A and B are shown apart, each in its own frame.
Chain A
Amino acid sequence: MTTLSAPPLRVPAPGTARRRIPAWVYSLIGVLILAVMLFPIYWMVNASLQPSGNTLTAGLFPLNPDFSGYEKALRDQGGNLVTSLIIATGTVVLTLLIAAPAAYALAQFRFRWIGAALMIIIVAQMVPGVVIANALYSAYNDLGMLNSLAGLILADASHAIPFAILILRTSMLAIPPSIVEAARIDGAGLVRAFMSVVVPISRNVLITAALFAFLFSWSDFLFALTLTTTEEVRPVTLGIYQYLGTQVSNWSAVMATAVLSSIPAIILLVLAQKFIAAGATGGAVK
């Protein structure tokens, strides 16, 4: 910037300095930055298409794509992918059921202890997962909830519920109380009014919260690692870890599983960009 703006035209320096670099140059730089950032993801796809074997001397491009890694991945991890899907979907449902009414209450009702409640929710987000896992292991052991879908759904929701309450509340603060009151005057109870007025208005942020609940749960590794001890219920993240366990014997299968596990994130990012972008900033700052 400074070197460019300094020498020839001195008078209107600031303006011209910017204008001299055409916008497409920035696009080009942006594409280069993205290429560097996303190189590992490219490499994951590339390695997944290399002929299988225990070395990973992959070529730079999958010139002769080989799908045997995917065959093995689907054979070994297909069931785990389904397990992950069930758990993530369950977490979404549980998160919305618990977080949406709570967020509405914290946004619109006048409770005296709202400040304290919000503080607790923010602090809850910071509790290390390993602390929760530690205590849950012994509780789940007593309750017979180790190796259960329900146990993992409940535990995974601990990533999503505080986050969902915070972003839902921020958006629900903007709902004018008069619309809800109008519905109540027409005879709807509080619950009915919530379902028929608040939920439709909040559709976008509910989708955002749902997406993140899905991604958090789909990505969960710690609870899968600590709260399952057998192969009955095994999310795919743990499947990958087990692949990595000893010496990796088949890199293309590991990378194929990695690609398959990345698909939800990639699909959601492509299809729901604006929701993802909203969620990325929403939960943290407000």
Chain B
Amino acid sequence: MTIVAPRTEAVAPAAAAPAPGRRRRHSPERWTRLLFIAPAALYILAFFGYPIVKNFTMSLQEYTTKTFFTGEAPWVGLANYVTVTTSSLFGPAFLNTALFTLGSILGQFVIGMALAVFFKRRFPLNGFLRSMMLLPWLLPVIVSSATWRSILDQDSGILNRFLGAIGLTDAPIGWLTDPAVALIAVIIVNIWVGIPFNVALLYGGLQDIPEELYEAAALDGATGWKAFWHITWPSLRPVVSVVLVLGVVYTLKVLDVILGLTNGGPANATQTLAVRSYQESFVNFQFGVGSAYSNVLILVSLIFAVIYLRANRRAVDE
């Protein structure tokens, strides 16, 4: 026994190395290869997989501040979802999410497309101007929110001062304090934040359209708008679908623009599903309800993600 025991121990590690090799020829190599991907796999599992699962189970539990002291989170079935959908804020939040997303995408896309087409021309300073145009996208969103909050201030903000000076408004508009316009204000700011991304992607797409197409069309008399409708738009369609769907998925989860500008107010005028989820979890400490809200958000995102993946596949294929 005493003799055998150490020997097996000594042999075991040495034998372990060639053992897999006997089973498969390139096994050690295979392990090294897996090593390349293992950290990423673990990370994605821990920071995307786990949260999705945890969020789902939390939404079925009564998960509140108490849980952190007692460790108890009783299962409550779909009660949180009932709370969410019967809440007087659910309908408005859903509608606001839809309006916020639709308005933002429409504004970002139309302006982004116009700018991308404009910058397609060759002129001095083009490259420099185009990269400076990216700046609003690179700034921390909370910085943009803070800045816009000062611009949109009802009494002393520069926007109202400007509108008053040119005689467009009689009384200063409460951009962030009037429930009737607050959603429009946050949409405007989000459009501003999103324009650079749209320009960058659409401009990239425009560069890939062969110049000969335009030359051929010009011979047939198609220039300007005609060329845009008959050549630019159809050739750009795969990129457009990617830009739009990606825009929707990114806009659905926007939180910092709204929290920085209005915090969901005034009078809940800028509550969206993402804001609701944040406030239930981290302001009211109703984590179960908060996660139910965010699961609704995931579901909506997922629908668009599927559309995205299909559009993306087509864009890469073509």
Contacts and interface: CB of A to CB of B under 8 A. Distances in A.
Interface of A: 1-2, 5, 13-15, 17, 23-24, 26-27, 29-31, 33-34, 37-38, 40-41, 43-44, 47, 55-58, 97-99, 101-102, 104-106, 109, 111, 117, 119-124, 126-139, 141, 154-155, 157-158, 161-162, 165, 189-191, 194, 215, 218-219, 221-222, 225-226, 237, 240-241, 243-244, 248, 251, 254-255, 258, 261-262, 265-266, 268-269, 273, 276-277, 280-281, 284-286
28 contacts: A15-B218, A43-B151, A43-B158, A47-B150, A101-B35, A105-B37, A117-B37, A127-B51, A128-B253, A128-B298, A130-B253, A131-B277, A131-B291, A131-B297, A133-B282, A134-B54, A161-B43, A221-B256, A225-B282, A241-B259, A254-B146, A254-B150, A269-B134, A269-B138, A277-B134, A280-B196, A284-B201, A284-B242
B43 A98 contact: yes
A37 B294 contact: no
A101 B37 contact: yes
B39 A101 contact: yes
Contacts of A41: 135-136, 139, 147
B222 to A, nearest CB: 8
Q: Which of A135, A219, A266 has the most CB of B within 10 A?
A: A135
A285 B197 CA distance: 12
Interface in B62-107: 63, 67-68
Contacts of A132: 47-48, 51
B133 interface: yes
Contacts of A40: 136, 144, 147-148, 151, 192
Nearest to B207: A281
Given A38-B135, A56-B150, A240-B143, A280 B124 contact: no
A55 B156 contact: yes
B58 interface: yes
Interface string B188-219: 00001001110011001100000000000010
B260 interface: yes
Contacts of B115: 33
Contact of B136 (A38, A138, A281): A38
Contacts of B260: 221, 240-241, 244
B22 interface: no
B131 A277 contact: yes
B204 A189 contact: no
Contact of B133 (A34, A119, A141): A34
Given A215-B138, A254-B146, A273-B131, A2 B225 contact: yes
Given A5-B224, A40-B147, A285 B58 contact: no
Contacts of B294: 128, 130-131, 134
B312 interface: yes
Contact of B51 (A43, A119, A136): A136
A191 to B, nearest CB: 7
**Residue among B32, B63, B146 with max Cβ neighbours from chain A (10 Å):** B146
Nearest to B137: A280
B37 A106 contact: yes
Interface string B113-148: 001001101111111011111111111111111111
B180 interface: no
Nearest to A104: B36
Given A101-B40, A255-B146, A269 B51 contact: no
A111 B43 CA distance: 19
B32 A27 contact: no
Contact of A120 (B44, B140, B158): B44
A57 B156 contact: yes
Contacts of B52: 127, 131, 135
Interface in B274-318: 274, 277-278, 281-282, 287, 290-291, 294-295, 297-298, 301, 304-305, 308-309, 312, 315-316
Nearest to A254: B146
Contacts of B48: 120, 124, 127, 132, 158
A188 B143 CA distance: 48
Contacts of A56: 150, 153, 156-157
B249 interface: yes
Interface centre among B33, B36, B133, B134 (most CB of A within 10 A): B36
Nearest to A37: B133
Contacts of B137: 280
Given A105-B36, A134-B290, A14 B218 contact: yes
Nearest to B248: A126
Given A43-B150, A262-B140, A122 B282 contact: no
Contacts of B259: 221, 225, 241
A161 B146 contact: no
Contact of A276 (B118, B127, B138): B138
Contacts of B68: 138, 141
Given A101-B37, A155-B47, A285-B204, A280 B134 contact: yes
A61 to B, nearest CB: 12
B67 to A, nearest CB: 8
Contacts of A225: 259, 282
Contacts of A17: 223-224
